[in-house]
Amino acid sequence: MDNKLHRIKVTELQDRVVSADEAASWIKDGMTLGLSGFTRAGDAKAIPYALVRRAETEQFKVNVFTGASLGSDVDKLMAEAGIVHKRLPFQADPAMRRKINNGDIMFVDHHLSQTAEWIRAGVIEPIDFAVIEALEITEDGMIIPTTSVGNSSVFVKHAKNVIIEINLSQPELFRGVHDIYEPGKQGQRSPIPLTGVNDRIGTIGIPVDLEKVKGIVFTDQADSPSTILPSDEETETMAGHLLDFLRAEVASGRLTNQLAPLQSGIGSVANAVLHGLVDSEFHDMEVYSEVLQDAVFDLIDAGKVKVASASSITLSKEKMAQVFGDFEKYRDKILLRPQEITNHPGLIRRLGLISINTALEFDIYGNVNSTHVSGTRMMNGIGGSGDFARNARLSIFVTKSIAKEGIISSVVPFVSHVDHTEHDVDIVVTEQGYADLRGLAPRERVPVIIENCVHPMYREQMRAYYAEALLRGGQTPHVLEKAFSWHANLATNGSMLLSE
Amino acid sequence: MDNKLHRIKVTELQDRVVSADEAASWIKDGMTLGLSGFTRAGDAKAIPYALVRRAETEQFKVNVFTGASLGSDVDKLMAEAGIVHKRLPFQADPAMRRKINNGDIMFVDHHLSQTAEWIRAGVIEPIDFAVIEALEITEDGMIIPTTSVGNSSVFVKHAKNVIIEINLSQPELFRGVHDIYEPGKQGQRSPIPLTGVNDRIGTIGIPVDLEKVKGIVFTDQADSPSTILPSDEETETMAGHLLDFLRAEVASGRLTNQLAPLQSGIGSVANAVLHGLVDSEFHDMEVYSEVLQDAVFDLIDAGKVKVASASSITLSKEKMAQVFGDFEKYRDKILLRPQEITNHPGLIRRLGLISINTALEFDIYGNVNSTHVSGTRMMNGIGGSGDFARNARLSIFVTKSIAKEGIISSVVPFVSHVDHTEHDVDIVVTEQGYADLRGLAPRERVPVIIENCVHPMYREQMRAYYAEALLRGGQTPHVLEKAFSWHANLATNGSMLLSE
């Protein structure tokens, strides 16, 4: 018997091992796939690759639903092969982004906590094949996921068929780290019993109806590492402003030095800001996030974070070698959950998270654009930022005040796309400073944002816009016909700086 | 002993009865008030009136926090007297609106479920005086509210002082209808145990620290009735489209003829749409809303609705006489709760509500403006629409396709203010038809909205905008410099119809 078959502990499933090409051949034009994978972690790899190979000689398209973004170039290769019709709820690949912005791929940009509800209720296309990366199949018929959970459990429960990719290169010590909980149908559910970050409320694996397991494929390809950039002077300055804000909250008595469970979005800026806590006075912190990046493990190593819950672990190459190579050390401090639990509005509010996410741009009233360059071209998607921002104790957005050496101001009169409204944004931070918008009327927000967050090269221009808007009056003064003039000037003249 | 003193069942409190003018004299310039009142129901009346009288001879300003809008001209009189500095979280009075739009009153437009969190956490100004309308004070020291709960319980718990207005004209049968639940501090809470619309999870009154009860005032002024308009042909047509949509959901197996707990926003359109269910095949329905308007009692009378939970009851003059005059009939079918429970994101999602709210305008991608006329002038505020829309099973927005005999199209290229993003809007309905946006990418949404919802007089103009936008490409095609041209044309030429 092949040695790796011990990963399939249900004996009757052992003869369902097939090649990736054979499994991929079952997937037909027009079908809908539910792929494991969340922020480059734990993605199904072999079947998507086999589909891309098949596309060399055959025309077909499938809908691709996932947890969040995929790694291992899966989105890139599928996009380039032209086999994706609809994609949801999040992606972060440049090649796929181009196809989306050309209108070749229909991208449904969805709150990460909500896709599970759509699948459970039968709102979107039913899943023909769930393709799930796993460490093993247990004796009692549970799929043990790898480095992410994402939407895998809801895909498995509702798919007509399941294909399992057992990845031999993933760290076996992840067994026991997962906590799989299924809320049940809306209207028939009990309260989700989680009241603390480290509460275990579910099972260590995903229960699967064995009848539905159509095939099992063995793979050994590691997750692709994250590509986050190291801190730079500006991200460190932003981290400093954020620490100042948190210290003010402690001084006011609203927080203690243990803070509150932290959520930090994907990306370099959020990672750098979180890293800024390593040398701070804050201690015994908890992380309740959707993804754990390098900084969380630095905080654990520094003895600052005692427990971290998320839906995936996404690390740089060096950090991955260190953390996965010595995982026994981290094992009892980590929980991986379905994304509808990590991002659940009720739990975010119950725990009272401090939520830190990245903005593409924000405006003088505190509306945030997280997704669309100049209001039209998709970057990655809203991801979980809406789940967190709406319900967090503190909803914080960070961005550098300018981009591309100043031709773009990240603070604008009117954001060109709204992902987070004025009602959902508490604090905005740039390298210039932070603006605390809580309890401020729109007219009170403007001067704080201009003086604390706008880059000096754009301040005068912003004051002029607002002065003109004030002549028009209103709760939220605007000069509508000039609201997007900065974006229009960027398109026409290559800069948001208006000439006199 | 004065006969009405039997309403104060804690004997030691009976000598705290004072005149409204005396109680109002304790309120000083710069203080913050927490007033009972939610959508014209159960508002504190005597103390605000006394403050307005005091303003004839004295200059002062206070912050006014409430549940939602006030009736009895309280907001009007306070605004005209110039005594309001900051107002939150919602209002609906024309005189106050003018002051807000002039910048004379700082209005913080806040999700109705969230103000309680701000007060509990000490984020906004602490409440100096809670002024709460009541039926009575019980033997065990609880305030029994009247026709609304709103934020009264969190005001009472956190205020430095409490003034109680015992209103002898409110129906005494309301005793026992309230269900007061306090979630506790974020990070230290248990799951809220409510799993069904008619679950009782709290107490029948608001516990109050007797030390804080500074004064008690007797009043006998009835709530002011609602001013909703009767159904017209267009609202009936919209109700018909909504019924068609619900029938399609039943046909698909996603709903049964019992539907799911219904939420309906304040206002004539939402009331008319709900009224459309009276003669439908749907039965044994439940209502889990923030306010109960006339239509809910019509549905109860018709045997269609078996239980209704909300934070207030707001009725027309005729309906008020009928319902309050015969309240024994309705008593066991009604629960009144704090607004953070009626509007709680976790509960809305758990129960899987069908949420129906009114839009001022929406755009071709499904973004909704609920608050700002032409992006600048506040109407009423976001109210609870965001609480419901984000977390409901079905998030539905309704509006007539045109306003003011066609000079305004309610469907526009780009909404002039975003309260609900494309991520939070499932269905839009006008008298033209409905568009089901679930699972659609932005480019798929546009034709459905144009053909099903836009008024014929604006369709060609909208198709032209979108055709030009498509040339620019992107996930969400726009011609940014023309995105607000319809609004600009309205301001300049008196119509959104562009001349050739």
pLDDT, residue A106, reads 98
Report the percent of chain B where pLDDT is more than 70. 99
Q: Does the distance separating the beta carbons of B483 and A485 come in below 8 Å?
A: no
pLDDT higher than threshold 60 for residue B1: no
A472 and chain B: CB distance < 8 Å anywhere? yes
User: A248: helix, coil or strand?
Assistant: helix
B319 Cβ under 8 Å from any chain A Cβ: no
d(CA B399, CA B397): 7
Spatial distance between the Cα atoms of A96 and B150, rounded to a whole number of angstroms = 48
List domains and CATH numbers for chain A: 5-219 (3.40.1080.10), 233-493 (3.40.1080.10)
Give residue A500's pLDDT: 56
pLDDT band at B500 (very low <50, low <70, confident <90, very high): low
pLDDT value, residue A269: 81
pLDDT at A330: 97
> CB A109 to CB B475 under 8 A?
yes
The mean predicted confidence, pLDDT, of chain A is 96
For residue A485, what pLDDT band results from cuts at 50, 70 and 90?
Answer: very high
- Closest by CA position to B419, among listed B345, B356, B359: B359
A446: which strand partners?
Answer: none
Instruction: Give the pLDDT of residue A84.
Output: 98
Q: Supply the ipTM of this predicted assembly.
A: 0.97
Q: Nearest chain A Cα to B393, which residue? A: A186
DSSP secondary structure letter of residue B17? B
Q: In angstroms, rounded to a whole number, what is the distance separating the alpha carbons of residues B31 and B313? A: 29
The Cα B107–Cα B51 span in angstroms is 20
Cα gap A285→A301, rounded to integer Å: 12
Please report which confidence band the pLDDT of residue B499 belongs to, taking 50, 70 and 90 as the band edges: confident
Chain A residues within an 8 Å CB radius of B193: 191
Say yes or no: A41 contacts chain B, CB-CB below 8 A.
Answer: no
Asked if residue A403 has pLDDT above 80, the reply is yes
- Whether chain B has a CB inside 8 Å of the CB on A338: the answer is no
Rounded to a whole number of angstroms, the distance from the CA of A381 to the nearest CA of chain B is 10
Q: How far apart are CA B311 and CA B177, in angstroms?
A: 11
Neighbours of B195 (CB within 10 A): 16
Q: Tell me how close the Cα of A72 comes to any Cα of chain B, in angstroms.
A: 24
Contact B350 A472 (CB under 8 A): no
pLDDT of B183:
97
| Distance from the B379 Cα atom to the nearest Cα atom in chain A, whole angstroms | 9
Asked if B191 is an interface residue toward chain A (Cβ–Cβ < 8 A), one would say yes
pTM value is: 0.98
In this model, does residue B107 exceed pLDDT 90? yes
Mean pLDDT of B40-50: 98
User: Which residues of A belong to the active site?
Assistant: 290
Q: What number is the average pLDDT over the span B267-285?
A: 89
Contact list, A422 vs chain B (CB under 8 Å): 109
Nearest to B106 among A378, A393, A441 (CB): A441
* d(C-alpha A364, C-alpha A295), whole Å: 31
B468 labelled catalytic: no
pLDDT of residue B2: 62
Band the pLDDT of B269: cuts 50, 70, 90: confident
Beta bridge partners, A338, equal A150
pLDDT at residue A55 is higher than 80: yes
Indicate the average pLDDT of chain B.
Answer: 96
A231: pLDDT confidence band, cut at 50, 70 and 90? Answer: confident
Give yes or no for a contact between B419 and B382, defined as CB atoms under 8 angstroms apart. Answer: yes
**B350 to A191: CB separation less than 8 angstroms, yes or no:** yes
Across B141-157, average pLDDT: 98
Provide DSSP, B277-330.
TTTSS--SEEEE-SEE-HHHHHHHHTT-EEEEEESEE---HHHHHHHHHTGGGT
User: How near does any CA of chain A get to the CA of B124, in Å?
Assistant: 6
**Active-site hit among B290, B340, B361, B431:** B290
- For tokens 């390809």, the residue is A221
Phi, psi of B224 (to 5 degrees): -80, 135
Give residue B426's pLDDT: 98
Task: Specify the pLDDT at position A267.
Answer: 77
Q: Residue A67 pLDDT > 60, yes or no?
A: yes
pLDDT in tens, A382-392: 999 999 999 99
Q: Is A211 exposed, middle or buried (0-12, 13-18, 19+ CB in 10 A)?
A: exposed
* The pLDDT of residue B30 is above 60: yes
Q: pLDDT by residue (tens digit) across B467-482?
A: 999 999 999 999 999 9
pLDDT in tens, B423-432: 999 999 999 9
Mean pLDDT of A170-184: 97
pLDDT 10s digits, B55-83:
999 999 999 999 999 999 999 999 999 99
Instruction: State yes or no: pLDDT of B397 exceeds 90.
Output: yes
Give the CA dihedral B429, B432, B437, B443, nearest 10 degrees: -140
* pLDDT surpassing 70 at residue A1: no
